[in-house]
């Protein structure tokens, strides 16, 4: 019991220390780099094989597409009065743009922005004997800027987003109707009830523009909770390494702006980690229920890894249900599964299905349940044991 309390307190204290000494760590900032250096030094307390991989990328700000969508809606409404064809073209582009950016994760605006720097921190524990499998545990060091609408409305913000999207589709329908009624004339002035409805729609689309503020958050749950578990596992297995499993513990950068760090990691190490299992931990320190992520957006995760992880959770009497992330957002495992690597994620969701404190100023060490950190650490330890106990003679 004392050992359990010590591990839980160790992880919680790490979260408190980095929040106090570094503070919020927005992606692509010096504070993110400072946080990465802090984690690197903590990793080096336990193993020598710690790497800092820096890279430059062009990346649009978080939910930049939503701001563009508002601007295009207003412009389209003006054109609707005089030139419905242009209004139709702009709104069709608007919807396709949102689908590409937020659903299919095709970042069409990235080339418009300057190159920015971020970094990943990777610590490795070599096995006692020959490595038969690599097991990767992922987290991310960066925090984001506050989403004020989520702080105010919680999961009800989905209603606000849905209404805005509804008016975009109404805009397309009205533009087609006006083109037909006007005999497909290029210029056709007509101010009617449909015009008034579209103007009212501006009020429903406008919240998109204010989805993200300029206030950085601490990111204690999202995602220092995961970094803390990785640090605890590193501390534990650096003393008692697995027999046949090589362990990698990763703190990725710039996750909050499109899983940049994990994508760069996979691109660089893909050949090296083909024979690997990956578990990314996401917001696992707050109040709520643990889930194993089966699918996110357009990507399905490895059933093989999920089955072993569920067994590990059952073995320590903390069973976890499966969950599919339905629309936008996601975890770093998306970067792995997209490239055909075997991965999944663990996430802790509150009653609203949103992690506690998610992207708000409330995400501080005060909301962290240290027992949740210990549970996830134990599940991951059991996952390692199950794989290490496998009869590797069959594959040697």
The predicted-structure confidence for 258-298, as pLDDT tens digits, reads as follows 899 999 999 999 999 999 999 999 999 999 999 999 999 78
Eight-class DSSP state of 216: B
Left if phi > 0, otherwise alpha if psi is -120 to 50, otherwise beta: which for 353? left
> Domain boundaries in the chain?
2-59+113-145+215-390, 64-107+152-210
Which tens digits make up the pLDDT trace of 114-167?
A: 999 999 999 999 999 999 999 999 999 999 999 999 999 888 888 999 999 999
Eight-class DSSP state of 169: H
Which tens digits make up the pLDDT trace of 232-266?
A: 999 999 999 999 999 999 999 999 998 999 999 99
Residue 57 pLDDT grade (very low, low, confident, very high; cuts 50, 70, 90): very high
Q: What is the pLDDT of residue 141?
A: 98
Picking from 144, 159, 160, the residue whose alpha carbon sits closest to that of residue 359 is 144
Give the rounded percent of residues in the chain with a pLDDT score beyond 90: 82
Q: What is the pLDDT of residue 156?
A: 86
In the predicted model, what is the mean pLDDT of residues 324-334?
85
DSSP string, 10-55: HHHHHHHHHHHHT---BTTSHHHHHHHHHHHHHHTTT-S-EEEEEE
CATH 3.40.50.720, applies to 2-59+113-145+215-390 = no
Q: What is the pLDDT of residue 1?
A: 54
> Would strands 133-140 and 245-252 be described as parallel, antiparallel, or unpaired?
parallel
**Total residues belonging to the chain:** 396
Left if phi > 0, otherwise alpha if psi is -120 to 50, otherwise beta: which for 178? alpha
What is the distance between the alpha carbons of residues 358 and 97, in angstroms, rounded to a whole number? 25
User: Global pTM?
Assistant: 0.93
């Amino acid at each position: 019991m004392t050992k359990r309390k010590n591990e839980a307190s160790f992880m919680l204290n790490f979260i408190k220390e980095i929040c106090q000494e570094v503070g919020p760590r927005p992606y692509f900032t010096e504070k993110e780099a400072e946080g990465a250096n802090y984690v690197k030094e903590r990793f080096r307390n336990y193993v020598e094989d710690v790497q800092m991989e820096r890279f430059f990328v062009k990346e649009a700000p978080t939910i930049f597409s939503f701001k563009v969508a508002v601007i295009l809606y207003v412009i389209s409404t003006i054109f609707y009065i005089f030139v419905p064809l242009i209004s139709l073209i702009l709104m069709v582009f608007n919807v396709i743009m949102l689908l590409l950016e937020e659903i299919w994760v095709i970042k069409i605006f990235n080339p418009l922005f300057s190159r920015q720097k971020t970094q990943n921190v990777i610590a490795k524990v070599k096995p006692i004997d020959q490595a038969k499998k690599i097991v990767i545990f992922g987290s991310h060091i960066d925090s984001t800027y506050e989403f004020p609408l989520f702080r105010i409305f919680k999961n009800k913000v989905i209603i606000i987003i849905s209404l805005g999207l509804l008016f975009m589709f109404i805009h397309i329908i009205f533009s087609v109707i006006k083109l037909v009624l006007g005999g497909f004339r290029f210029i056709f002035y007509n101010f009617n009830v449909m015009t008034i409805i579209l103007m009212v729609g501006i009020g429903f689309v406008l919240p998109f523009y204010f989805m993200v503020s300029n206030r950085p958050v601490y990111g204690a749950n999202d995602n220092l909770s995961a970094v803390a578990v990785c640090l605890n596992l590193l501390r534990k297995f650096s003393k008692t390494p697995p027999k046949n499993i090589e362990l990698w513990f990763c703190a990725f950068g710039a996750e909050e702006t499109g899983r940049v760090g994990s994508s760069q990691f996979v691109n660089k190490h893909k050949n090296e980690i083909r024979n690997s299992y990956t578990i990314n931990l996401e917001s696992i320190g707050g109040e709520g229920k643990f889930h194993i992520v089966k699918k996110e957006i357009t990507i399905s995760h490895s059933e093989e890894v999920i089955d072993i992880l569920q067994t590990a959770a059952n073995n320590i009497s903390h069973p976890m249900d499966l969950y599919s992330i339905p629309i936008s957002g996601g975890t770093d495992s998306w970067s792995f599964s997209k490239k055909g690597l075997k991965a999944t994620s663990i996430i802790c969701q509150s009653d609203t299905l949103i992690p506690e404190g998610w992207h708000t100023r409330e995400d501080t060490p005060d909301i962290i349940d240290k027992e949740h950190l210990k549970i996830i650490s134990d599940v991951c330890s059991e996952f390692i044991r199950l794989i290490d106990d496998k009869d590797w003679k069959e594959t040697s």
